[in-house]
């Protein structure tokens, strides 16, 4: 007789503290934006901002700013999706670090594909499943309280996997080994991430502030490419989104929704120590 032991989802004190942060997180900058159309993102925005939202009646300014920040965050998700496809209703995809589920819902709307999202925050998983249920896609978009480093999902079962600003919570060697196991040959991996620019040296003060704010550990750019290639994930497209990320932070800094981390992002992006990248890779 063999005895199987259930692996706990959280495997370190670090992961416990990250889960505690996200279980308690209720920032208006995330909830108010999500209420615009029921798509709740946990990533930042890209593209030129419409600064006219700051003009006009003060009584409705916050509403206009919320809509504009949400539009920029949706543009970021759309860009990620544009590198995931082509996908169709028969494909199964994985959202690694799925937050409140926004990117997963966007993927299902765009491709009709089946989506599994994983998060180590039980509150986020419950919230995201409720959103999928409300949209009537609860059978196709499912969120799981699981660890992206050890999902327990079947090998080769996924046509695409993404991390939308979630790689800075894990060791990339472990993450990409699991992604490589899960992806079908020829499958696509996409991440959008902030990484420190190791051509500049060690992480700047602003990066340390971002790490402390979110309890994350921003990786150097080199580690992404080293660990991708060590795990049969071959980059096909790399887009430097740093310049495109700045208007979002400038606009956010001018609003009542600011959380206090805005200046650190603006400093890190503008002094060259930090880069916002999209990386797409094929599983070979
Ligand atoms: C944003 O989440 C993303 C992270 C916390 C990961 C860190 C990302 C980097 C690029 C370093 P969020 O939408 O919950 O953040 P906020 O509450 O600040 O909007
Ligand atoms: Mg946010």
Local confidence band at 85 (pLDDT 50, 70, 90 cut-offs): confident
pLDDT of 4: 57
Rounded Cα–Cα distance for residues 117 and 87 (Å): 17
% of the chain surpassing 70 pLDDT: 98
Name the residue with the closest Cα to ligand 1, atom 6. 165
Each residue's pLDDT tens digit, 203-258? 999 999 999 999 999 999 999 999 999 999 999 999 999 999 999 999 999 999 99
Query: Per-domain residue ranges for the chain?
Result: 13-283
Over residues 70-96, mean pLDDT: 97
Pocket test for ligand 1, best of 31, 165, 241, 266 (most atoms within 8 A of CB): 165
Q: 214 CA distance to ligand 1 centroid (A)?
A: 7
93 pLDDT higher than 80: yes
Rounded Cα–Cα distance for residues 133 and 128 (Å): 9
- Please, are residues 10 and 19 in contact by the beta-carbon 8 Å criterion? yes
Higher pLDDT, 20 or 85: 20
Local confidence band at 267 (pLDDT 50, 70, 90 cut-offs): very high
Over residues 118-143, mean pLDDT: 98
Tokens 């795990």 belong to residue: 231
Rounded Cα–Cα distance for residues 137 and 233 (Å): 30
Rounded Cα–Cα distance for residues 75 and 210 (Å): 23
Over residues 193-197, mean pLDDT: 97
The CATH code for residues 13-283 is 3.40.50.150
Name the residue with the closest Cα to ligand 1, atom 5. 214
- Please, are residues 223 and 171 in contact by the beta-carbon 8 Å criterion? no
pLDDT of 7: 76
What phi and psi, each to the nearest 5 degrees, are found at residue 28? -55, -30
Q: Which atom of ligand 1 is nearest to the CA of 169?
A: 6
Q: 23 CA distance to ligand 2 centroid (A)?
A: 15
Q: 215 CA distance to ligand 1 centroid (A)?
A: 10
Nearest residue to 131 (alpha-carbon basis) of 42, 44, 20: 42
Name the residue with the closest Cα to ligand 1, atom 15. 42
Q: Could you report how far apart the first and last alpha carbons of the chain are, in Å?
A: 38
């Amino acid at each position: 007789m063999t005895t199987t032991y259930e692996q706990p989802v959280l495997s370190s004190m670090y992961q416990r503290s990250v889960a505690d942060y996200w279980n308690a997180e209720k920032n208006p900058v995330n909830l108010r934006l999500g209420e615009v159309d029921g798509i709740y993102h946990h990533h930042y925005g890209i593209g030129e901002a419409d600064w006219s939202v700051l003009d006009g009646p003060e009584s409705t300014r916050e509403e206009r700013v919320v809509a504009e920040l949400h539009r920029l965050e949706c543009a970021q998700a759309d860009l990620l999706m544009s590198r995931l496809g082509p996908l169709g209703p028969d494909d199964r995809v994985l959202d690694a670090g799925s937050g409140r589920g926004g990117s997963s819902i966007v993927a299902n709307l765009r491709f009709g594909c089946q989506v599994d999202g994983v998060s180590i925050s039980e509150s986020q998983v419950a919230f995201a499943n409720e959103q999928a249920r409300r949209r009537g896609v609860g059978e196709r978009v499912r969120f799981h309280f699981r660890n992206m480093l050890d999902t327990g999902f079947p090998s080769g079962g996924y046509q695409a996997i993404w991390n939308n600003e979630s790689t800075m919570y894990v060791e990339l060697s472990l993450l990409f080994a699991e992604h490589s196991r899960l992806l079908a040959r020829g499958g696509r991996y996409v991440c959008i991430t902030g990484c420190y620019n190791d051509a500049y040296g060690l992480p700047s003060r602003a990066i340390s502030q971002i790490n402390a704010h979110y309890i994350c550990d921003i990786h150097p750019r080199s580690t992404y490419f080293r660990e991708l290639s060590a795990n049969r994930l071959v980059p096909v497209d790399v887009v430097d989104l740093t310049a495109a990320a700045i208007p979002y932070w400038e606009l956010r800094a001018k609003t009542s929704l600011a959380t206090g981390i805005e200046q650190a992002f603006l400093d890190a992006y503008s002094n060259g120590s930090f880069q916002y990248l999209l990386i797409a890779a094929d599983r070979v």
